[in-house]
Amino acid sequence: SVRVNNVQNTLLKNLLDACGASLGFYTVGYAFAFGGSFSNPSQTTFIGNTNFFLMDVENQAFWLFQFAFAATSATIVAGTLAERCQMSAYLCY
């Protein structure tokens, strides 16, 4: 549990994580994860090389679904560090 005086700090960390995750996943995360060639399995790549900034992506609902997992993995760290480090140290992370 988190003490009442640290609730705002934890909420701010979670909000910053969600904003950072949305920008990162929008710019390069989705492209790295799903930007490879799926039509021909012999041409798939380890890291995707298309769909940066969601260019030529038709299914935004799939992007939003995958973003939720990316943001959740980032906010888990904020929960484990609650009351254990200062905000400046967390921003360096």
Q: Please report where in the chains the tokens 């799926």 appear, as a residue.
A: 38
| Separation between Cα atoms, residue 84 and residue 31, nearest integer Å | 34
pLDDT in the model for residue 37 = 64
Q: Which comes out higher in pLDDT, residue 82 or 74?
A: 74
Whether the predicted pLDDT of 7 surpasses 70: yes
- Residues in the chain, how many? 93
- Contact between 10 and 85 under an 8 Å Cβ cutoff? The reply is no
68: its two tokens:
């939720």
pLDDT in the model for residue 27 = 96
| Separation between Cα atoms, residue 75 and residue 26, nearest integer Å | 17
| Separation between Cα atoms, residue 4 and residue 13, nearest integer Å | 15
pLDDT in the model for residue 83 = 80
| Separation between Cα atoms, residue 71 and residue 50, nearest integer Å | 22
Whether the predicted pLDDT of 42 surpasses 80: no
pLDDT in the model for residue 39 = 67
